[in-house]
A and B are shown apart, each in its own frame.
Chain A
Amino acid sequence: MMLEVRSLHAYYGQNEALHGIEFALPEGGMVALLGANGAGKTTTLRAVCGMVRTTGEIRFDGTSIAGRTTEEIVRLGIAHVPEGRGTFVRMSVEENLQLGAMSRRDRAAIVRDVDWIYERFPRLRERRRQQAGLLSGGEQQMLAVGRALMLRPRLMLLDEPSFGLAPLVVEELFAILAGLNRETGVGMLIVEQNAELALELAERAYLLETGRIVFAGPASEIREDEAVRRAYLGY
């Protein structure tokens, strides 16, 4: 297993936001994390990369990463595309991409990777000198994904990558993500409001409700289980 989480609790101050959840992501797998607003999806991703206080077990490639600092975890190859994108708004598009590769030393490869990102997201190439804060929402989302890819991650944590994007752009972005997963074997843990889309993409899904996992299984199973869909996903 690439990522294994057991009896994970997460806390904001005194409040417990996750009450002992358990999930796993196989090598190169694509897993969706679904649930209503406030269910704890974002918190789960933040817990994996050490941004909230947790107890319990988190293993990445077999080694425990619970309790490590965010920067250490990132340097192990886990790239997080946070809710709200987290772009460096006053810096240029190109600088944002360079920052994504900050933990790497292979300069020549970094230059090639920037080019590779521009090939996948031509809009970013056109705007490479522009301040990231002046990009449209969709372009910023592309930049956030591009910046995460610059890490050459083994695992990506994507928090609502479709948020605020036009349907066509969402399809485009998800096609790119699927392609990356196929070609490079990067694992992906995807949080989505757009459950239908996420379930098409992912092999496996977990449903969260108020900090607990209430359903786990192959994505196809959820798609076909009308009761579960109605109860938790509202479609």
Chain B
Amino acid sequence: MQLLIQEVLAGLANGAIYALTALAIVMVFQAIDHLNFAQGEMATFSTFVAWQLIEWGVTYWAAFVLTVALSFAGGIAIERVLFRPLHKAPILALLVGFIALFSILNSGDGYIWNYTIKTFPTPFGTAPLFGSALLDGHQAGMIGVTAVLLGLLYFFFRGTRLGLAMRAAAANPESARLVGIRVGWMTALGWGMAAAIGAVGGMLIAPIVFLDPNMMLGVLIYGFSGAVLGGLTSPGGAVFGGFAVGVIESLAGTFIPYVGRDLNLTIALLVIVAVLMVRPTGIFGRTVASRV
């Protein structure tokens, strides 16, 4: 029992990062109807920026806030410079855009900060929380920071006019224009927020997986899986999916004999495929149908 709770909690801690990644993917997907598979590279780049700031002597939380702000601006810049001109381009051109972004950021990391693996600090410590073996400080921090961020985002989308405008622009761009919403800017804002959310995820996972240019590759697969599992049309679903993938991964690794540890990714993906066979749009997703 102790082990079960421990593995579920560990799964939730990693799942928090998958949830953030899934949410960032869904935010861009809602805005442009395409999967941003450079999301992981954006997060990694942000994490390198944070690492650099800390190296220069900036305190952790100042670096954290600064990195989130810079990433937000960077996300907007990516949309304006790269994807705005491509927004009516054929899918292959867009694909090239994503590949370009992916490789620019990936090799940019390596060029600026080289490929050696770096440790990344955590402000939460790694001592067992409350002296129990259930959860360590950093894992609790991952869950806590994610919960706060998700709460803020929920308030933003449900309780503010700008959040309402963003939802409207994603749901029905043409109608949104007809009420005067600047849909192009809402798309840019979606990119900015996705980049900022990714930055938080990157900074939280880096102490565990260590920082290098390919840090987010694995995380991105889990994030995608979470997004698809929960439903690409549902931000809440994506968050749920991310946490679920984390827990499934953790439990599969511990409780399935022999193969568990090595095949936990495979098992997680199998579960997802099984779900999708029953519900192709994900657990909370829906088919996009318009009423005429």
- Any chain A CB within 8 A of the CB of B87? no
Which B residues are in CB contact (< 8 Å) with A84? 292
Instruction: Determine how close the nearest CB of chain A comes to the CB of B199; give it in whole angstroms.
Output: 29
Q: Which of B165, B171, B290, B292 contacts A102 (CB 8 A)?
A: B165
**A99 CA to B179 CA in the complex, in Å?**
7
Over the window 173-185 of chain B, the binary record of Cβ atoms lying under 8 Å from chain A Cβ atoms (1 yes, 0 no) is 0111111111100
Q: Which of B174, B179, B290, B291 contacts A147 (CB 8 A)?
A: B179
Over the window 256-292 of chain B, the binary record of Cβ atoms lying under 8 Å from chain A Cβ atoms (1 yes, 0 no) is 0000000000000000000000000000000000111
Instruction: Using known A-B contacts A89-B291, A102-B165, determine if residue A71 contacts B181 with beta carbons closer than 8 Å.
Output: yes
**A91 CA to B158 CA in the complex, in Å?**
11
Residues B171 and A88 in contact, CB atoms below 8 Å apart? yes
Q: Which of A25-33, A56-64, A74-82, A170-178 contacts B (4 or more CB under 8 A)?
A: A74-82
Residues B174 and A51 in contact, CB atoms below 8 Å apart? yes
Residues B164 and A74 in contact, CB atoms below 8 Å apart? no
Which A residues are in CB contact (< 8 Å) with B88? none
Considering only CB atoms and an 8 Å cut-off, how many residues of chain B contact the other chain? 20
- Any chain B CB within 8 A of the CB of A103? yes
Which A residues are in CB contact (< 8 Å) with B291? 89, 133
Residues A98 and B164 in contact, CB atoms below 8 Å apart? yes
**A86 CA to B179 CA in the complex, in Å?**
10
Which B residues are in CB contact (< 8 Å) with A91? 164, 167-168, 171
- Any chain A CB within 8 A of the CB of B119? no
Interface members, chain B 133-177 (any A CB < 8 Å): 161, 164-165, 167-168, 171-172, 174-177
**A133 CA to B172 CA in the complex, in Å?**
13
- Any chain B CB within 8 A of the CB of A100? yes
Considering only CB atoms and an 8 Å cut-off, how many residues of chain A contact the other chain? 26
B167 nearest in chain A by CB position: A91
Which A residues are in CB contact (< 8 Å) with B180? 71, 74-75, 102-103, 151
24 chain-A/chain-B pairs, Cβ below 8 angstroms: A51-B177, A71-B177, A71-B180, A71-B181, A74-B178, A79-B178, A82-B178, A86-B174, A88-B168, A88-B172, A88-B175, A89-B290, A90-B171, A91-B167, A91-B171, A95-B164, A99-B179, A99-B181, A102-B164, A102-B165, A102-B180, A102-B181, A103-B180, A133-B291
| Minimum-distance CB pairs A-B, first 4 | A103-B180, A86-B175, A74-B180, A70-B177
**Residues in chain B within 8 A of chain A (CB atoms):** 161, 164-165, 167-168, 171-172, 174-183, 290-292
